[in-house]
Amino acid sequence: MRFASIGSGSEGNGTLIQADGQGAILVDCGFSAREALSRMAGYGLVAEDLAGILVTHEHTDHIKGVARLANRCRVPVYTTWGTWAAKLNGVLDDQLFRMITPHEHFQLAGLSIQPVAVPHDAREPCQFVFERQGTRLGVLSDAGSVTPHMIECYQNCDALMLECNHDLKMLADGPYPASLKRRVAGPLGHLNNQQSADMLSQLERSGMQHLVVTHISQKNNHPDLAVAALIESGACCEEIIRVATQNAGLDWISVQAETVTN
Ligand SMILES: [Zn+2]
Ligand SMILES: [Zn+2]
């Protein structure tokens, strides 16, 4: 299994996941359809390579180009009823809507996919864990709090894409109006560096090969602060950390099947 980010942050998100010899899955498309296709080309993919688009929730930085890309390229869209009702109803061709629920895993493009309900200020948001023959990739952003359910779902990931949205002090001192600061830091907002580090320290992660920091705020955080928080918590060593950025995303990363040694 391999994965990549075509861009990560409040200006637009998109994650590519592909099992060996299978079509690719795009999780969220917060870019225009044209921009997404142009970015995907940089990862060696064309629209025909897409087996499906998964949508975590209806905020613009995740859903902006979804309907147009899906309609134009005839790609099915997997999302919850709440997300569909919020922004896709009437825009996405009905024939392309595949309803998922956060309580049931489903199969797509050689992957078993477990949706994970998260606390975020959207209608029915969920994040995902992808599994292929025992190899697990967790994708988690846009959550205001860490719930016991999330801790349970993200155990034993071989790779994890984890939101480190803001540094609490930078947010407090930063340019956002007070109401937006409250929203971002609130229980239905975004994970700050410390919350993500604390969550990571609660996960069984001995087999973790890659930790990718995502959804970093360009105004209220700095990649160095996020990485430092993860390392200082003792939850993660520097060697496995990568950062997905707004403009450059992150190049393909391969997750190897675990080799069992005696
Ligand atoms: Zn977002
Ligand atoms: Zn959001």
Distance of CA 258 from the midpoint of ligand 2 (Å): 33
Domains in the chain (CATH in brackets) are 2-254 (3.60.15.10)
**What are the tens digits of pLDDT across the range 127-184?**
999 999 999 999 999 999 999 999 999 999 999 999 999 999 999 999 999 999 999 9
Q: Which ligand is nearest to the CA of 12?
A: 1
Distance of CA 215 from the midpoint of ligand 1 (Å): 7
Q: Which ligand is nearest to the CA of 214?
A: 1
Q: Give pLDDT, residue 234.
A: 86
Contacts of 174 (CB under 8 A, 6+ apart): 181, 219, 220
Which residues neighbour ligand 2 (ion) by CB within 5 Å? 59, 142
**What are the tens digits of pLDDT across the range 74-120?**
999 999 999 999 999 999 999 999 999 999 999 999 999 999 999 99
pLDDT of residue 18 exceeding 90: yes
Distance of CA 30 from the midpoint of ligand 2 (Å): 11
Distance of CA 228 from the midpoint of ligand 1 (Å): 22
The DSSP bridge pattern shows strands 250-254 and 2-7 to be antiparallel
| Mean pLDDT, rounded, of the chain | 96
Helices (H), the chain: 33-41, 60-63, 66-73, 81-83, 148-153, 168-173, 178-185, 193-201, 223-232
The DSSP bridge pattern shows strands 135-140 and 126-132 to be antiparallel
